[in-house]
Structures are given as structure tokens and as C-alpha cells.
Structure 1
Amino acid sequence: MSSSSGSNAPQAPPVHIPKPIKFLFGGSAGMGATLFVQPLDLVKNRMQLSGEGGGQKMYKNSGHAIRLIIKNEGPLALYNGLSAGLLRQATYTTTRLGIYTTLFDMVSGPDGKPPNFLMKATIGMTAGGIAALVGTPAEISLIRMCADGRLPVDQQRGYSSVFNALVRISKEEGVVTLWRGCGPTVARAMVVNAAQLASYSQAKQFILGTGYFNDNILCHFVASMISGFVTTVASMPVDISKTRIQNMRVIDGKPEYKGAIDVLSQTVRKEGFFSLWKGFTPYYVRLGPHTVLTFIFLEQLNRLYRQRYGNSS
């Protein structure tokens, strides 16, 4: 029997989005955002490797890096490693969202009451750490593909795609190499998730408390940029150690670095303490917009799903 029209008509129940679809949309939203921020990822990686070991710095700042890359390698070089960036989102973001949502439901009260802030931070760190473990092969491929253009032609690895990188790394250096730098990668993910969750929540609360903002995209963007700054400061030393370990070569059976602590100590000793935040600007500028774009794409995918399946009887 059809319901009567008018203002007193019963509201249709909200459309339930199945969990696998939520995970798919989360990974897809992250991949969509990566299409816009990949050049910043490339510049960040290049700057973190510039001046490595106390050598001459290739780039003075982010703008100089972009100009040199376009001049020497062409505009499309800013998208080197895009396939690896997309695979990283498909593996890392999907896994993180899936684990976070599952753990969130497990620790929520029987009445659906959400967990407290500390528990949210804990499951966020857990989800981020496990997801980083899954996403490390794509991460190491991305680092190497982004770094290739700064090397002389005879030293370039020349991966044609992320899948070519994965196959060649496995054959030439062993499957275990796909998880090189896994420790700092997981540590970075845990730091990022903890810092993002705490700072985003506090920033949003502060912004809404000023009375000048409503809870909309503008508020989310400003909160994301504040959160991005805090997260960048907290996570960059771990990130630069991850980047250098994953890009290092093993010469005559001897790796360039013994581990993450060795990277940090060598970097500080040879390049100065503040070089731990090398590539700060592109890292920061990438982090906030990537978060906002991911949420925008995710909301649109959810909206389209509800429109499509909310009308089906």
C-alpha cells in the first residue's frame, strides 16, 4: 500500500550501506584525492632525498623543485609514480577504513554508544599500523618511482608501473625487500593517525566554538589544515627515515643505512637537525587537502549510492 503524500508522510528509513561497499568507497575516495595531490607527494619525496648523506642539495625549496622537475623532465614527470600512489590508497586506505570500522563496532556499547576519545585514538593507531603493513609494497614502489628522475640515466631503476616495480623488486632483490622500511612506515602511520585524530577533533571543536563557522566543508577544510600542520610536525622525522630506507641501495652486500635510528642520526649529523623536516611544505600542503578531498569524494559516493538504492522498492 502506497503512503500518502504531503508533509505528514512518513520519512523513508535511511539507506544502509553495506560494509564492503563502505570499504570500497573509502579506497576509491582516497584514490580520487591522490589524482590531485600526487605532484606534492613526488616533490616531498624528492626533497627528502635531496642532500642525502651531506651531499649537495638538488632543490632549494618546493617551488624550485617543481620548476626543475618540469624543466628537466617535463610536466608529466610530476605524476611519476601515480600508479603506485593509487595502489597505496587502494591497499592502505581500504584496509585502514575496514579495520577501523570493524574495531569501532566491536568496542561500541550495546546501545550503539560510540567509544571514548582514548579508545578511538587506540583503534585509529591500530588500524593505521596494520594498514601500513599491507600498503608497504606500494609505498616502496612509490618512493622509488618518484625518486628515479633525480638520478643519472644509468642509475635509474626505470620501473614502467607499480606492478613492474613489484615484480622486479621481488626478482632482483627478494620478496622481503617489498617490506623494507616497514618499521618506520608502521610507526609513521600510527603517529599520523593518533596526531590527526586528536588535532582534528580539537581544531574542529575550537573552530565551531568561535561562532564564525558552521559544520560544513569550509569548517572541515580549516580543521584539516590545522590538523595537517600538527601531524606534519609530529610525523616528518619518521617519514624521512622511511623514505630514505625504502629508496636506499645495497652496494656489495652493504646497505646504506642500518635502520631508522641510523638514518636519523646520520641525517642530523651530516645535514643538520632541521633537515628532519625537509619537504615540510609539500607534505603539509598535501595532507590537509588530501583529507578534505577524500571526505568530499566519499560523501558524494555515499550520496549517489543512497540515491540509486534508496528509490528501489
Structure 2
Amino acid sequence: MASSPKQAPTPKGIKFLFGGTAGMAATVFVQPLDLVKNRMQMSGEGGKVREHKTSFHAVLKIFQKEGLRGMYTGLSAGLFRQATYTTTRLGIYSTLFDLTSGQDGSPPNFATKASIGMVAGATGAFVGTPAEISLIRMTSDGRLPPEQRRGYTSVFNALARITREEGLFTLWRGCGPTMARAMVVNAAQLASYSQSKQFLLGTGYFQDNIFCHFGASMISGFVTTCASMPVDIAKTRIQNMKVIDGKPEYSGGIDVLSKTIRSEGVLSLWKGFTPYYARLGPHTVLTFIFLEQMNKMYRNYASTAQC
């Protein structure tokens, strides 16, 4: 019997393309949660009366004021963020993974994987910061009085206007906290997802399938949310702040955290926890589902083309 032809490896360019596309597809489903998370993090800023008591209250208010379409405000920025951040992150990670693998093809150890994950996350965050700042501003606009809204019509309109009105370097405002958050998220996700999956498989109730992946993703999402939210709220407020008479509202991430704790309490650093957590787990699962399906279709296409 003739042996089946050896499967050709997927080109790196295709892997990067699929990674970014999978992240964009997942974002279409979780964008409303990103919107609610950002609104919750801006609620009560500077000791003002909190606009939203809970995430459910925020959803209700957004529906009442902005309608169903309002829940997808900033979608273009969310998609562009995935196209820049996720594609870069996966590309850097894949490249460094190959470089640190053994001569026999054995994967790098856990510490090395965590390290390259942090490097990849930080690099991707730097590239994705312009899209991130556009997303923060677009999703926060609806909470402001009409005369104070920026009124960006799309991510490209946001990028052009920010550059024209505030200068090119404003696109990287909050870059430090954004990169720090990405490093925390990548490190926490790697450690907690691996351990959670190992734990679930060890119970005897799970097999290595989508149900196990979903469960591990949700546990990992909880741990990652707890670890990264203080950095995330600092990033959100810095990127949404306005410069009045040449004086910015915050001097940096530490200033945001100290002012937030002083005026709103320590627990406010985890404001928007529910939508953040609800977004992180499903987004990870959906990204991998879409990624697996695209890889499967490509392998079928490649094998058909060889025949």
C-alpha cells in the first residue's frame, strides 16, 4: 500500500493571517462586552457620581440611550486592534518559539514559553496601541454629553483626527500600561491555562476537546482578570483623558492608580470585572475555534492541490 503524501507545513505568513483573522472573528461576538467594560472603568472617575452601579445596569442604560447599534460602537477599532495586536503577537511568538526549540524539534520549557509570550505580548501591544486608544475613545464617547463627544466615525477617522488634532505621539499615549497589561495577561494566561487544563483532565470527567478547552479558558480568564485589571484601568483612563490648557489629567499609570484608590476605593481597580471576565474566556475559546477551522480548511485545500 502506498504511503500517504507527507503534509506540507503551513507557511508562516498564512499562520499570521489566520491568527489575526481568528481574533477579528471572535471580536465580532464579544465587542459589546468590551464596550461595557470600558464604560464601567470610566464610571465614577475623579470621584464623580458613578453612572453605572453594575454591568447589567450599564447594558440597560446603553440600550436605552444608544440602542442595539450602540452596543457595537467602536467595532471597527476592535477589529483593527486584532489585525495589528493579535497578528503581531502570534507572529513574534511563533518566530521565537521556533528559535528556542531544540534541534530535535522539542518545544522550549515552560519558563522560556512564558518569557517569549511576554515579549510577544509587549511587542504586539506596542504595535496595537493606536487601535487600542481609538477603541477606548470610541466606546467611551456615548457616556459624554453631546457637546463633549469626539464623534469619531471609524477607527481610521479616529487615527487621522488624533494625529491632526493632538499630534502623532498621542497615538501611543498609555503605551507603557498597555504593554505591561499585555505582559501580565500573556504570563498569567500561559500559566493558568496550562494548569487548569491539566487539572480538568486529571479529574477524569474531561477529555482533551472543546469542552475541556472552554473550562480551562474560563478558569484561566478568572485568574488573568484578577491579575491584569488594575493595569487595564490605568491604561483605559490614560488613553481616554483629555489635555486641558496643556495639562493632562494624569501623569502616568501610578498617578491613575493612586488617584483612583484615593477617590473611589481599592475595589474600584476591579471595576468592570464581570464584562472583562465574560469577554476574556469566550474570546480565547472562539479565537482558537476559528483558528482550528481555518487551519483545517487550509490543510484540506493544500492536500487537494497536491493531488
The farther-off stretch of 9-18 and 215-224 is 9-18
1:76 counterpart = 2:76:
no
Question: Does residue 278 of structure 2 align to residue 285 of structure 1?
Answer: yes
* Separation (CA, whole Å) in 1 of partners of 2:10 and 2:190: 24
Q: Confirm or deny that 1:127 pairs with 2:125.
A: no
The answer to whether the aligner puts 1:165 opposite 2:158 as a matched pair is: yes
Distance 1:196 1:38 in 2: 20
* Of 275, 278, 287, the match for 1:294: 287
Matched, 1:18 2:11: yes
* Corresponding position of 1:46: 39
Indicate the SS of the match to 2:71.
helix
Structure 2 segments unaligned to the other structure (5+ residues): none
Matches for 1:230-245 after TM superposition, within 5 Å: 230-245=223-238
Deviation string for 1:12-66 (max 9, x for gaps)? Answer: 3223210000000000000000000000000000000000001000011111100
The structure whose Rg is larger is 1
C-alpha separation in 2, matches of 1:101 and 1:160: 35
TM-score w.r.t. the length of structure 2 is: 0.99
What is the percent sequence identity of the aligned residues?
Answer: 73
Q: Give the match for residue 108 of structure 1.
A: 101
Q: 1:132-147 counterparts in 2 under 5 A? A: 132-147=125-140
- Return the alpha-carbon distance in structure 1 between the equivalents of residues 84 and 187 of structure 2: 20
Indicate whether 1:192 and 2:188 are aligned. no
Matches of 1:9 and 1:268, distance apart in 2: 69
- The aligned residue for residue 272 of structure 1 is 265
- Partner of 1:157, secondary structure, is coil
1:155 equivalenced with 2:148 (yes/no):
yes
Take 1:26 and 1:11, find their aligned partners in 2: how far apart are those partners?
A: 28
Equivalent position of 2:59 in the other structure = 66
Q: Secondary structure at the match of 2:211?
A: helix
Secondary structure of 1:312's partner? helix
Q: Give, in whole Å, the separation in 1 of the partners of 2:10 and 2:38.
A: 37
Amino acid at match of 2:202: G
In 1, Cα distance between equivalents of 2:216 and 2:182: 20
The match for 1:202 among 162, 177, 195 is: 195
Partners of 1:12 and 1:41 lie apart in 2 by 45
Counterpart AA for 1:14: Q
Query: 3-state DSSP class of the match of 2:6?
Result: coil
1:217 paired residue number:
210
In 2, distance between residues paired with 1:168 and 1:65? Answer: 28
What secondary structure, in the 3-state scheme, does the structure 1 residue paired with 2:305 have? coil
After superposing on structure 2, the runs of 4+ consecutive aligned residues of structure 1 that deviate more than 4 Å are: none
Q: Indicate which of 229, 247, 259 corresponds to 2:222.
A: 229
Q: 2:84 aligns with which of 91, 108, 125?
A: 91
Are residues 1:262 and 2:255 paired?
yes
Q: CA deviation at 1:82?
A: 0.2
Number of equivalences: 306
TM-score where L is the length of structure 1: 0.97
**What's the CA shift string for 1:61-108, capped at 9, x where partnerless?**
111100100101111100000000000000000000000000000010
One-letter identity of the residue aligned with 1:168: R
Deviation of 1:308 after TM superposition, in Å, equals 1.0
